[in-house]
Amino acid sequence: MAGFADRHRLAIVFGGRSTEHAISCVSARGVLAAVDRTKYEVVPVGIAPDGRWLVLPDDPAVLAGVGQELPQVRPDSGRGVVLPPDPNGASLVAVGPAAGGPPVVTGGLGDLDVDVVFPLLHGPYGEDGTIQGLLEMAGLPYVGSGVFASAAAMDKQHMKTLLAAAGLPVGPYAVLRAGEALSEAEKTRLGLPVFVKPARGGSSIGISQVDAWADLDTAIKTARESDPKVLVEAAIVGREIECGVLDTLDGGPPETSLPAEIVIDSAAGFYDFEAKYSSDATRLDVPADLPAGTADRVRAAAAAAFLALDCAGLARVDVFLTPAGGVVLNEVNTMPGFTPSSLFPRMWAASGLDYPDLVDRLIQVALRRGSGLR
């Protein structure tokens, strides 16, 4: 076991500017509680909803919600820092307020060098390649996929294009950019019901099930509150199955977890935000009750999707299993929910890798990969 003097300094970055801010904080609380402090010196960095970066105490209790409220990073909850795009200086530079203006770099206020970053950010401004590009500019290794894979997986249109180009099955869909409407020909092609969702988002925020075309405009308006580009997807009849993917420490082919199944009470509709986080109508079967051959096909499709998008570190791949036994890819999530009760860690626990070891493996993979093209 490494001594304290040999510890790597790990920055856990969470919160952010997206609508998934609170879910990111919940994920960070779980990781903070699981990190082995004999191997890592932890620097929690919360990003407030206004974009401010703050160093917070290394204490999971800081991210406990109040009452029924989900946790959040308050702009006054820590010391301000920035991550400069310069690999030759301190990784985190302290900032102070400027009189009548924005924060300014002060230096000398406990600037920190960081060895590796765990960006536990969900949605835009974190899971979409933006922070990954910043970390690349700073020369910092980080957990998870790089700039391209993060951006491609976040944009469901381009994700589906790449998966289809790799010969992987995806369901029928249409793309509506700002100001566009669904044509009658597209309505005929897709049929009813359809699901309308923001092209770049997560946690099922802004998604609507449309059972009558008269409700389509309202659903599009709801989705465009999160993203001006919208996907309209044909409903796929089948079981909702998910599978975790991990990079190996030796750089070999990615490994896949035992699949899990999302089972929703038919009266509750679909797997929306409420069903994910606050409903009793959802049951998660971990592992899924699948014949061995079917589970193998799901795992093979998940690994193929991971490679098709050039993912790194980790991903959760969501598929539909049709009544005929076909596997249709739905989404690739490059930074899935990461609380101990989240589906991704639970799938790996069922596969023999518990939560603390999963966290450690992801950090070790990031350290070995380095940054850039190294």
Question: Does the pLDDT value for residue 97 go beyond 60?
Answer: no
Report residue 258 as tokens. Answer: 């035992």
Residue-level pLDDT at 108 = 42
Pairing of strands 40-47, 8-15: parallel
Percent of the chain residues topping a pLDDT of 90: 75
Distance CA 187, CA 196 (A): 12
Distance CA 96, CA 200 (A): 34
313 in Cβ contact with 362 (< 8 Å): yes
Residue-level pLDDT at 156 = 96
Residue-level pLDDT at 100 = 41
Distance CA 299, CA 287 (A): 12
Residue-level pLDDT at 280 = 62
Tens digits of per-residue pLDDT, 146-191? 999 999 999 999 999 999 999 999 999 999 999 999 999 999 999 9
**Position with higher pLDDT, 224 vs 97:** 224
What's phi and psi for 274, nearest 5 deg? -65, -40
Angle (CA) 140-129-32 rounded to 5° is 60
Residue-level pLDDT at 372 = 81
318 in Cβ contact with 331 (< 8 Å): yes
Q: How many other CB atoms are found less than 10 A from the CB of residue 338?
A: 26
Residue-level pLDDT at 331 = 96
Distance CA 293, CA 304 (A): 16
Q: What is the pTM of this model?
A: 0.90
Distance CA 103, CA 139 (A): 24
Backbone angle region of 48, left / alpha / beta, with phi > 0 → left and psi within -120 to 50 → alpha: beta
Tens digits of per-residue pLDDT, 197-241? 999 986 578 999 999 999 999 999 999 998 999 999 999 999 999
What is the average pLDDT score of the chain?
89
Residue-level pLDDT at 273 = 47
127-136 in b/e form (b: 16+ CB < 10 A) is: bbbbbbbbbb
Give which of 118, 121, 125 is closest to 25, Cα–Cα. 121
pLDDT band (50, 70, 90) for residue 105: very low
31 in Cβ contact with 359 (< 8 Å): yes
The residues with which 126 forms a beta bridge, in sequence order, are: none
Q: Which residue has the tokens 């922070």?
A: 131
Which whole number is the average pLDDT over 57-77? Answer: 83
Tens digits of per-residue pLDDT, 267-304? 545 544 454 444 466 899 999 999 999 999 999 999 99
Question: Does the pLDDT value for residue 321 go beyond 80?
Answer: yes
Q: How many other CB atoms are found less than 10 A from the CB of residue 279?
A: 15
Which whole number is the average pLDDT over 303-308? Answer: 98
Residue-level pLDDT at 62 = 84
Which whole number is the average pLDDT over 89-99? Answer: 71
Distance CA 192, CA 62 (A): 46
**Position with higher pLDDT, 340 vs 32:** 32
**Position with higher pLDDT, 89 vs 208:** 208
Question: Does the pLDDT value for residue 69 go beyond 90?
Answer: no
Distance CA 191, CA 109 (A): 60
Which whole number is the average pLDDT over 56-62? Answer: 90
Distance CA 106, CA 101 (A): 14
Three-state secondary structure along the chain? Answer: CCCHHHCEEEEEEEECCCCCHHHHHHHHHHHHHHCCCCCEEEEEEEECCCCCEEECCCCHHHHCCCCCCCCCCCCCCCEEEECCCCCCCCCEEEEEEECCEEEEECCCCCCECCCEEEEECCCCCCCCCHHHHHHHHCCCCECCCCHHHHHHHHEHHHHHHHHHHCCCCECCEEEECCCCCCCHHHHHHHCCCEEEEECECCCCCCCEEECCHHHHHHHHHHHHCCCCCEEEEECCCCEEEEEEEECCCCCCCCEECCCEEEEECHHHCCCCHHHHHCCCCEEEECCCCCCHHHHHHHHHHHHHHHHHCCCCCEEEEEEEECCCCCEEEEEEECCCCCCCCCHHHHHHHHCCCCHHHHHHHHHHHHHHHCCCCC
Residue-level pLDDT at 112 = 85
